[in-house]
Structure 1
Amino acid sequence: MIQAVASHDPQSPSTLHRFSRFSGADGQVWEQTKRLMAADITYIPSETFERSYTGEAAQVDAILGSLEESSGSIPRNLPPHLAALCGYRLLDASEESLLFREMNFLKYRAARIRASVDPSDPHPDLVITALRALDRASLIRDSLIRTNIRLAVSIARRFSDSPCSFDELLSEAIFVLMYSVEKFDSGRGFRFSTYAYRAISRHLYRMVTETARQESRMTRDAEDWAFEETLVAGSSPPAERFWTQLRGNLNDFLQKLDRRERFVVRCRYALGNHRTVKT
């Protein structure tokens, strides 16, 4: 996958010196120019951008305006706030391809305009045009994410019997979904759902596997308390019974905590293999 990245360093001494001369009425131009120069513009290039493609604003507006017309099949038993995220309808192949192409074209256009802007003497119209292109690209990106939220929910539910909570799984799934929208190349002829499904599934599988490994290790450590070091050879039976009962009580207490809380307690009080107190 080929990606184009256009960026500037707004904190460099030369850039700050050029911006420092703006004041008063030029302050807004300075802020807009600084925002444009600081933007991280990453897009999937296409030969059509340089030859004939000029954008499909009218068609894109029609698609974006129709996304909430039908909620489609919303996953069952979702909390209201999650059900609301799944309210956008699904896109067909042509709509999806058009939105991705338009999003990347707008970023390409903004990058080209920024390359022609002189930070020491910016043209306000050019700066505003570039920022509007970036804002519209962000709107399309957010819409693409919303139309695929239910895919993230569906994949997260398939791992619901893992040690991870559903909220953790869904949070990671949405994060990967957002990343996938930025990296997907629609020109290769595949549907985005195919690309995102594999990316999210792989990420959650690695996450669940690592969590299960940590859980297994902590379970094995449950019998190995720091207190056992006090059980020296020759201890009296009452002392042994006392420490055995104490260890049992601590085990019962820890089982009432969730995975993260158990980990924090063990690290804080140097229990099990966590011999060093971590504050």
Structure 2
Amino acid sequence: MAASATTRASETLRSRPRTAGPDLGSAIDYVPADEFEELEYQPDELEFARRLTTDVAGGAEAESASSVGPLLARSLPPLTAEEERVLFRRMNFVKFQAEAIRSTMSQSRPSRRKAAKVTALLEEADAVRRRIVESNLRLVATVCRKYSRNDQEFQEFVSEGLLILLAAIRKFDYSRGFRFSTYAYNAVQRELFRTSRRASRRNQRFVLTPDEVLSEVSESAGVKGGPEVDHAAIYESLMEAASGRLTDREESIVRRRFGTDKSGVTETLRDIAADLGLSKERVRQIQITAIQKLQRIATELNLSASSI
């Protein structure tokens, strides 16, 4: 999940030629500003805006950015308030120009000259957007660190945070005078807070009963029998047959999770993790490995209710 989401976010940062040309049938989305109708850039203003976009990382490094590490390695220094205003103004203005040209073009027989102009404007807008993104990657990472409890969750949150950042860039209105970094930080934090809360509630509810898990082991291994099947008996037969094939840690975690140790209490991943000095995710991985081993053993022995 994290890799695929990060890959999607990464792909939006790449410099890709518009070989197919602009979509003349669809309006070009931008955030309007009153000044666009009469805006004329002075040479020094235009040079400053374009110079800011030359720092964008690209090339082979951008093509290989399919995980969190390479993406964050491409981060640039944060933008100043003035740099934010200049970049958002330029990005939306060139989109405004592109849409103005597109709206006058014939869809059946488009002018090649106008189509080339629209393409060039949109490529400039993409370059500006990439500059904004790469100057805010560390901001996303900071928020994700705040809410993640382990490295895997951090990577998942970064993937989601990058998509939130891209959405924030599309919606931000520079003409209102606010800082984009503040707007983006709040947007990412708000969504990740909600995601973190949902995950916490899910984890608190997710406590398997022994019968639920033993039934899953039995059914996945092809164990036959109806509602009268004694899953606990099947489990004990499996554990006896698994002697030497489960590690001590795997057996201990399985028994504690399913409440089949001496205490008879079903423990949560969090409780076991705290006791063993492991992460909750690591305990879950060990549990999955142990269950998969039990499933293979049950299949090998062709266990059924009548054989116990």
Query: TM-score, length-normalised on structure 2?
Result: 0.60
Residue identity opposite 1:51 in structure 2: E
Sort the Cα spacing of 1:118 and 1:243 in 2 relative to 1 into closer, same or farther, 3 A: same
From 45, 56, 60, give the equivalent of 2:49. 60
* TM-score normalised over the length of structure 1: 0.65
Equivalent residue letter for 1:91: L
Matched residue, 1:37 = 24
Asked if 1:252 is matched to 2:254, the reply is yes
Q: For 1:146-225, list aligned pairs within 5 A.
A: 146-161=134-149, 165-221=153-209, 224-225=212-213
Q: Distance in 2 between matches of 1:246 and 1:231?
A: 19
Distance 1:160 1:31, change over 3 A: closer
CA deviation digits over 1:240-267, x for unaligned, max 9? 55545759969729885449x79xx9xx
* Corresponding letter in the other structure for 2:35: T
Alpha-carbon spacing, 1:213–1:244, altered in 2? closer, same or farther (3 Å): farther
Q: How many angstroms does 1:62 deviate by?
A: 2.2
The whole-number CA distance in structure 2 between the counterparts of 1:222 and 1:107 is: 59
Check 1:241–1:165 CA distance in 2 against 1; reply closer, same or farther (3 A cut): same
In structure 1, stretches of 5+ residues that fail to align are: 1-29, 69-78, 266-279
Alpha-carbon distance change, 192 to 240 in structure 1, aligned in 2, over 3 angstroms: closer
Give 1:105's aligned residue: 93
Matched position secondary structure for 1:133: helix
The match for 1:46 is: 33
Residue in 2 aligned with 1:132?
120
* Separation of aligned partners in 1, 2:108 and 2:71: 47
Considering Cα pairs closer than 8 Å and 6+ residues apart, tell me whether 1 or 2 has the greater RCO.
2
Equivalents in 2 of 1:222, 1:168: separation in Å?
30
Inter-partner Cα distance in structure 2 for 1:156 and 1:215: 19
What is the letter of the counterpart of residue 33 of structure 2? S
Q: Give 1:127's aligned amino acid.
A: A
> What does the per-residue CA deviation read over 1:76-132, in whole Å, with 9 as the maximum and x for residues that have no partner?
xxx86255222x122111111010011000111101100001122222111111111
User: Aligned pair in 2 of structure 1 residues 156, 85: CA closer, same or farther (>3 Å)?
Assistant: same
Q: Distance in 2 between matches of 1:133 and 1:91?
A: 23
8 Å CA contact 1:231, 1:240 repeated in 2: no
Task: Mark the CA change 1:220 to 1:163 in structure 2 (over 3 Å): closer, same or farther.
Answer: farther
Residue 219 of structure 1 aligns to a residue whose secondary structure is coil
Deviation at 1:39, TM superposition (A): 5.6
Displacement of 1:37 in angstroms is 1.3
* Identity between Structure 1 and Structure 2 (%): 27
Query: Which residue identity lines up with residue 200 of structure 1 in the other structure?
Result: V
CA distance in 2, matches of 1:173, 1:230: 47
1:5-44 alignment runs, 5 A limit: 31-32=20-21, 35-37=22-24, 41-44=28-31
Q: CA RMSD in A?
A: 3.9
- CA gap of 1:135–1:67, structure 2 versus 1, over 3 A, is closer
Shift of 1:223: 5.8
